[in-house]
Structure formats: structure tokens, C-alpha cells
Structure 1
């Protein structure tokens, strides 16, 4: 059932001259959800986000928000707000004035706009830094100021363009938890562009995985990871092996593959690499048919019967853990 906050793309296309960056993409985003547009560089995810925001024109198709066609409206009239990768804070304005800037541009009086900005700073836990200048803030604090500035317009949809890429790994993990918590508290839709699979899995209710200007697969994060539909999805999401068997190509999670004696396995292989990963050991083996397969074994299980490179082994798995892959590698999938 549609709501007044539904965001929908209908055959949206973006061309740059003869280059098609986004090719007739259609998708309806679930309201009040966290969606990650995921994919490799050049797949069309950032162009899609910028078209939703109004920072890129739509070559063909329509963008609807709450049933209203916003495709040709200026950014300020769309009901969306965008948080840029660079944060783009004004260096000469204090934190509170950065947050209040869009309300100033709308002509709102200083008292009401600063009061609303103070509410946003409280939401992102920066009240005590309201009078500081941007160069006095850490990267994580600057990000939260940019977030408060985007939210002060009370958007129906918040758009985030790789907002965590400039942060160090420890802070990135902390900030993604804060983003998820904030989205749930506000109850609005977040659409977040990333090329990081771990980031998408940690944040998203839904993943929209793009490849070559189309949607390769979309759905709940767990479904996209556990049941990839194409070889590209299986390889890009990671944690999977793609195995060619007589009846087709299949994906199987590395942690669903086990080792046994060479004559008892579904495939015979020779170990080519062993990587200790703390709680697990990743064992890579090459089959007789020259396929590389990784088994992710609990460290306790591996060291009960340790192996070495060059050892012959059998690869085993439960048949129910195999997911057959589509033969068409350039579908527009939903």
C-alpha cells in the first residue's frame, strides 16, 4: 500500500552524451526505511541519488515522492535533503549558523531559525559545540553538523552520498550505528550511496545493488546476501563461492563449505592458501576443474584437524545451501 512518503523511480534514465549512466531504472523504496544504493564505481548509484536530489537532470522517466512527480522541481521544493560526501560546511560560520543556514535563505527570522537549529544539534548530540567553527571539530563532529543541517528542513527523504568514506575505520563503524539509530528515531526514509558491502549490510533494511547502469538485485539485506541471483551479486557481496556444476552455476556461502577426505567430497581439490582470521580460518582450495573455492571454518574446528597448502581434500556442503544463478549477467532485476 502506497503512502504519502513513498519514493518511486519509474524508468529513470541518465545520459551524458552517448554514455548511459542510468538505464531505465524502476524501483519503489519502502517508506520509513534505510536503503543502501550499493555497487562498484561507475555503476550509476551516485547519478541515481543526484537525480533524486535534483542535482542532476533526468534524461527520461519520472521520480515520484508521495505520488507527486518531482523530476523537474528544484532541490529545495522536492521534499528531499542531501548530505554530501565532503560535508561542505561554511568555514566562516559557527556550527549553529551552519545548521540554520537553509532557514536563513528562506527568510526565517533569526530567533526561530536558531531555536530550530539548536533542536537539531541536540538530536545529533552537539549542543555543547554550537558556537565552534568547523575547523575546531573532528571529522565525526563535522559529519553530524552536516547531518543536522540536512535534517533541519524536515525532509521526507534524506539522501546520503558516501557519508562515511572520509572517516577512519573505527569512527566509521561508530557513525554508522548513529545513522541507523537516528533514522529509526526520525521515522523517515534514508537513501545512502556506498560501495562498501559491510556498510550496506550493517545499515540497510533494503539493498539496491547496481551494476552497469541497472539494478542487478534489490531486496532485504539478508535476502540479497543469502540468495544472490547472479554471479555478479554473489561475487560483489562477498562471502560466497561461485561453483560451476554440470547443471549450472551456483553460489554457496564460504561458511557453508566444509573439508573432508579427498574421496568423500563433492569436489576434489588441493589447498592453495590458509588465512587465520581470528574466530575463523579461511581455507582456499583449487578443484580439479581449476575453480577456486573458499571454506570458512571455525578456528577451533580447523585446528582440531589442521591442513597445509598442497594437501588434497574433499569439499562438502549441504545441497540446500546452493543457490542457482541466472545465466543472464546483465538483467534489470528487482
Structure 2
């Protein structure tokens, strides 16, 4: 495969009539990294991915790959490949021919395309199933066929649109590890669209959080989770309290929030919910100011000193753990 280059979006915009789906975003995807576009439905992440792939027309802006603006090139000439959410495998073709289909359309000889298809199937550990039809495969196996079909074109950037959404939770976790393994082995850029926070945190070298057609925050996964810059990012990533203090609005992780006796914490609150979550118990309390705060307490500690609904408790934290928010 060709040595990967950075992919840069410059004032990239997508309009549907009067509706702005992507609003002049700028971002550089570093070569050879796993990036996740993360956000709620309608935030613009899928439109961004489809513009990069060439499946949506760019309204304004540029997409730079290998020092070339690819925004108006056909998909086959961009140096990208896309794996669709539905996998879109041909039911009448066997696995090998599904993987080799794009090479067939490009006029590659049958011996060469079958050789390359088998190399890709070996990469995704499906070489023994080359003669099966898609309906003879599990969901996870179909996904790996779709991956092999995308990778056979030797792209610089692989684009993945909600690739795990059709899988059951157990298989989804297994396939996350498979995607990460492939990205590391191939050394190419993966750009993965998801609305799943856990998925993005598990996979991404970089997370780009989108909201209302714009990039809200971008950075390493640990930075996005530990140091959200806005209330939206803190709330969307989960696991945070967003509270108003005299010094301003802050984000405070729920596992950095502890319970204390009433009157002995920074604030008091009345317990409104208790949820057992295996290793932890999530305790939500409403303060006198009407703010809901959650403390994620180790289960062993909680059951040593259980708390009841309606009980008044103190909520406390270290000042260094309360991160100021810009908006």
C-alpha cells in the first residue's frame, strides 16, 4: 500500500437547501492513526464521512490528501475506501468474488484478483471460507468480508460508517479488537463514525466530537474524557457531573465524586436514584440548588454503608478534579 499521508479538511461545508449539515469545519487527520467521529444523530458526522468518500457532494471547502484536493474527484480516484454500515455484500457471489469485485471492475486479471482477494481474506482470518456465500456467514464474518473488500483497493484512508451497529454487544466488543489490530498491522488511517462513546474510547487514537454541524472538541481519547471543554462534551461522553459553582461551570467525573455525611461535603443533596452497576453503584442526589449530581461509588464500599432514597448526604471532591468549562 502507498505510504499514508495526512488528510486535511479545510472549511468543509455541506448544505441541503437551507439546512447546514456540516458548517465549515477544519481538521487534520494524522496519517496512520485511528480517528473516531463521535456525536449524536444529526450532528454532521456521517455527512462529513460521505464527503470524504465522495458519496456526498461538497458544498464548499477542500479535502486535501497527498497534497491534492480530492473534493471533486470520483470515489475510485481519491485514495480512500469506504465500508458501509449495511456491508452491502452481493448475495449471489461467494466470499472471494465479493472481496475481488472492485478489481474485476478495474479490469484486473482473474488470477491476480483472486490472489489478492485471498491475501485479504488471510488478513481477516477468513481464508477457509472463500467459497461460501454471504448468507452462510455470521454477522461478524460478513463484517470482515466487507473490510477485506474495502482494503483490497489499497487505500490510504479507510472510512467506516457505524461498522459495529448491526452486531450484538458481545460480538461488537470482539470486533473492536479486530478493527484495532487491522489498523495497527496495515498502518493506514482509519476514520470511524459512531455515536457510541465506549466504542470511540476503546478504539480511537483521536476523537472528534461533533455537535450541531461543527467540531465541538478534538483530541486524544483520554483528553476528551478527562478534560472536556464544554458542557455538551462532558454530558455526551457520560460519567461527568456538570455543575455551576461561584467560579463558573465545571465538569466533575462521577468517579471523582464521593459521598459524605450531610453537612461535611462541598454541597448537600437528597438521594433520588441508586443503581447497582456491578463493580460500582451509581448514586444520584439533587442539591438544594436543583442540580443533579452523581457519585460512582465502589460497590463494596457502598454496601458496607448503604444509602437510601430520600436520605440527605454530603457530596465532596478534590478541587483539582473540577475542570472549568468554556461553554
Inter-partner Cα distance in structure 2 for 1:314 and 1:208: 36
Alignment of 1:76-95 (within 5 A): 76-95=76-95
Aligned twin of 2:68? 68
**Number of equivalenced pairs:** 325
Alignment of 1:268-283 (within 5 A): 268-283=268-283
Inter-partner Cα distance in structure 2 for 1:273 and 1:90: 49
Once the 2 structures are TM-superposed, how far is the Cα of residue 306 of structure 1 from its aligned partner?
1.2
Q: Which runs of 5+ in 2 are unaligned?
A: none
Once the 2 structures are TM-superposed, how far is the Cα of residue 82 of structure 1 from its aligned partner?
0.1
Would the aligned equivalents of 1:10 and 1:25 in 2 still touch at CA under 8 Å? yes
Structure 2 vs 1, CA of residues 34 and 148 (structure 1 numbering), >3 Å: closer, same or farther? same
SS in 2 for 1:90: coil
Would the aligned equivalents of 2:4 and 2:32 in 1 still touch at CA under 8 Å? no
Inter-partner Cα distance in structure 2 for 1:180 and 1:304: 40
SS in 2 for 1:71: coil
Q: Which runs of 5+ in 1 are unaligned?
A: 328-334
Once the 2 structures are TM-superposed, how far is the Cα of residue 4 of structure 1 from its aligned partner?
5.5
Aligned twin of 2:224? 224
Would the aligned equivalents of 2:4 and 2:188 in 1 still touch at CA under 8 Å? no
Would the aligned equivalents of 1:94 and 1:132 in 2 still touch at CA under 8 Å? yes
Normalised by the length of structure 1, the TM-score is 0.96
Aligned twin of 2:170? 170
Aligned twin of 2:235? 235
User: Which digits, 9 at most, give the CA deviation of each residue in 1:52-73, with x for residues without a partner?
Assistant: 0000011000000122110100
Once the 2 structures are TM-superposed, how far is the Cα of residue 30 of structure 1 from its aligned partner?
1.4
SS in 2 for 1:103: helix
Alignment of 1:1-334 (within 5 A): 5-327=5-327
User: Which digits, 9 at most, give the CA deviation of each residue in 1:65-108, with x for residues without a partner?
Assistant: 12211010000000000000000001111100000000001100
The Cα RMSD (Å) is: 0.8
Would the aligned equivalents of 1:38 and 1:197 in 2 still touch at CA under 8 Å? yes
Normalised by the length of structure 2, the TM-score is 0.98
Question: 4+ residue stretches of structure 1 with deviation over 6 A?
Answer: none
Would the aligned equivalents of 1:4 and 1:65 in 2 still touch at CA under 8 Å? no
Inter-partner Cα distance in structure 2 for 1:11 and 1:173: 35
